[in-house]
A and B are shown apart, each in its own frame.
Chain A
């Protein structure tokens, strides 16, 4: 069973608020990712990290930012939330040189911006 945790699981906030979605993993994985999952199910990579102090933008442009100060922690922040940010956000991790490339996912944070 994967040891990757996301909080909060559900969040409903008003427009303009600052929010941080937390993601932590206890597997010692160097690579971590944030995916945005649309209501129609498709997954879009928005951020990833190869390790401490490494952050990269993914395939889908996002107004969110991430940080990687500790190996186990990869929080995502929205400075001013808007209704267009309403989505499910999935965090994942993997070993840096995994032979199979398996991704381990958290249970997701469902964000609703009113």
Chain B
């Protein structure tokens, strides 16, 4: 079945860039997503990329997609303490969304 993998934890200093990586196995993925979960809250869509794109930029966020290697990354420029959260990678295939386990981003002041 479909599988989405990401590392569990990332720690960065405030002001540095954060890069969260994700790999997936489903070659029929149409959309790939990054969701953010703050403590005690539900998930919120941060950004998404269509599978025929290789990059998407939205203010401090840059999403890179390597479809050949099935690798997705999220870069957060000038990381702030408010960016501390869990980031979930997800992919959609045939209307079904599969989530990764989530990467906990810790931002050190």
Contact = CB atoms under 8 A, between A and B. Distances in A.
Contact of A105 (B31, B43, B48, B104): B43
A39 B42 CA distance: 14
A105 B42 contact: yes
A103 B42 CA distance: 11
A90 B101 CA distance: 15
A102 B45 CA distance: 7
B42 A100 contact: no
A92 B99 CA distance: 13
Given A41-B86, A100-B31, A107 B40 contact: yes
Contacts of A40: 101
- Name A's interface SS: loop
Contacts of A107: 40-42
B interface, how many residues as a size bin? 20 to 34
Contacts of A19: none
Q: Which interface class (under 10, 10 to 19, 20 to 34, 35 or more) fits A? A: 10 to 19
Nearest to A108: B42
Contacts, number: 46
A90 B43 CA distance: 9
Interface string B66-102: 0000000000000000000010100010010101011
| B contact face: mostly helix, strand, loop, or mixed | strand
Interface centre among A6, A40, A103 (most CB of B within 10 A): A103
A4 B87 CA distance: 20
Contact of A101 (B42, B92, B99, B102): B92
Nearest to A35: B99
- Give the 8 A-B CB pairs with smallest separation, nearest first: A105-B42, A41-B102, A101-B92, A43-B99, A105-B43, A42-B101, A107-B42, A106-B42
Interface string A78-90: 0000000000001
Contacts of B30: 101
